[in-house]
Amino acid sequence: MASDSLPLLAVEHLTMRFGGLFAVNDLSFTAYQKEITAIIGPNGAGKTTVFNCLTGFYKPSVGRLSLTPPDDGAPHLLERMDGFRIAKVAKVARTFQNIRLFTGMSVLENLMVAQHNKLMRASVYSVAGLLGLRRFRNQERQSLEIAKYWLDKIDLSDQADWSAGNLPYGSQRRLEIARAMCTEPVLLCLDEPAAGLNPRESLQLNDLLLDIRRDQNIGILLIEHDMSVVMNISDHIIVLDHGAMIADGTPVAIRSDPTVIRAYLGAADDEDLPPEVTGDLRPAATSGVR
């Protein structure tokens, strides 16, 4: 991928072992700023494990994960950081395969909690907050504006005071993305954001992600089975199978890559494949969606 953007995340020789099982085996790739990098692969290929390593939920067995912030600071070595510090210091945000909203709290509160660290700093150990000092009130107003911006973006302004658990499924998915964006990340990791969405909602999701890529100075890492999302919005696709990378390229290149097709369909010979399958990955992909 001849990319003109700057590299954001460099994954080198990432290996994650669970006992004798190599969930991820010697994976190296690079994600770029202002680009959407998709990670695809059959179920159990190790995609979510890569995310869990990136966001500190697992400690990788081997490998280096270095994130270079866009403001050209020193790179953060994610494999050495605690889970919450990856989000706080390195500014990597993520969503989850099974949505993890604060369901009892309101939509707006979800977005405010995401701005915790900034608000905590302004509240000076809650003292400034308890006294209602201007320093804290200004920060709170500013955070509220950010929350409103994202509410508007995901079209949930009218439901801002609903408890998040009462939202329809598609809205919950969008809210989780907005919540991740409220942490002001440099890298956004989305774990199957289109799972369970209908075709219309998938299109809305595409628009949202393209908007984020256009307006925000961040890179997006995307795990997805829905090829209508992956093929339309990705700049760059990485294909995993059994923990190893089997292909890396543009959507057009991946679409016709024989190794990828074999991994998805398990065909013995490429020539056996009917043309409608080699032409489009969709039939294989939909079987992978839950």
Determine the 3-state secondary structure of 185 from DSSP.
coil
Which range binds another protein by CB under 8 A, 41-49, 55-63, 192-200, 223-231? 55-63
Candidates 43, 44, 155, 166; binder of another protein (CB under 8 A) is: 166
Binding of residue 138 to another protein (CB under 8 A) = no
The contacts of residue 40 (CB under 8 Å, 6+ apart) are 47, 223, 224, 225, 230, 237, 238, 239, 240, 254, 285
Chain residues 243-272 in contact with another protein, contact rule CB under 8 A: none
Q: Rounded to the nearest whole angstrom, what is the least distance from the CB of residue 136 to another protein in the complex?
A: 8
Report, in Å, the least distance between residue 4 CB and another protein.
31
Tell me 158's DSSP state: G
Among 88, 135, 153, 242, interactor with another protein by CB under 8 A:
88
Which amino acid is residue 161, in one-letter code? D
- Single-letter amino acid code for the residue at 123: S
Instruction: Please identify which residue in 21, 59, 103, 270 interacts with another protein, judged by CB under 8 A.
Output: 103
One-letter amino acid at 128 equals A
Q: Which is nearer to another protein, 190 or 284 (CB)?
A: 190
Quote the least distance from Cβ 287 to another protein, whole Å.
Answer: 29
Q: Among 68-76, 122-130, 205-213, 246-254, which window interacts with another protein (CB under 8 A)? A: 122-130
Distance between CA atoms of residues 127 and 278, nearest Å: 63
Q: Which of residues 205-224 bind another protein (CB under 8 A)?
A: none
- Contact between 84 and another protein per CB under 8 A: yes
Three-state DSSP state, 171: helix
Q: Which of 33, 49, 123, 234 binds another protein (CB under 8 A)?
A: 123
At position 197, the amino acid (one-letter code) is L
Question: Contacting another protein (CB under 8 A), which of 4, 71, 145, 158?
Answer: 158
Rounded to the nearest whole angstrom, what is the least distance from the CB of residue 96 to another protein in the complex? Answer: 7
Q: Say how far apart CA 207 and CA 205 lie, in whole Å.
A: 5
Residue 151 as a binder of another protein (CB under 8 A): the answer is yes
The values of phi and psi at residue 55, to 5°, are -100, 15
Which of 31-39, 159-167, 205-213, 258-266 is the region at the interface with another protein (rule: CB under 8 A)?
159-167
- Class of residue 154 by CB neighbours under 10 A (exposed 0-12, middle 13-18, buried 19+): buried
Pick one of 59, 80, 100, 137: the residue that binds another protein (CB under 8 A): 100
Q: Which residues, 6+ apart, have CB-to-CB distance to 68 below 8 Å?
A: 6, 7, 8, 9, 10, 75
Side-chain-side CA neighbours of residue 147 (13 Å): 22
CA pair distance 32, 9, nearest whole angstrom: 7
Give CA–CA dist 256/191, Å, rounded: 24
Q: With CB under 8 A, what is the number of residues at the site for another protein?
A: 49
Q: Which listed residue (21, 43, 165, 256) binds another protein by CB under 8 A?
A: 165
List residues binding another protein (CB under 8 A).
55-57, 83-89, 93-94, 96, 100-106, 108-109, 112-117, 119-120, 123, 126, 129-130, 144, 148, 151, 157-163, 165-166, 179-180, 183
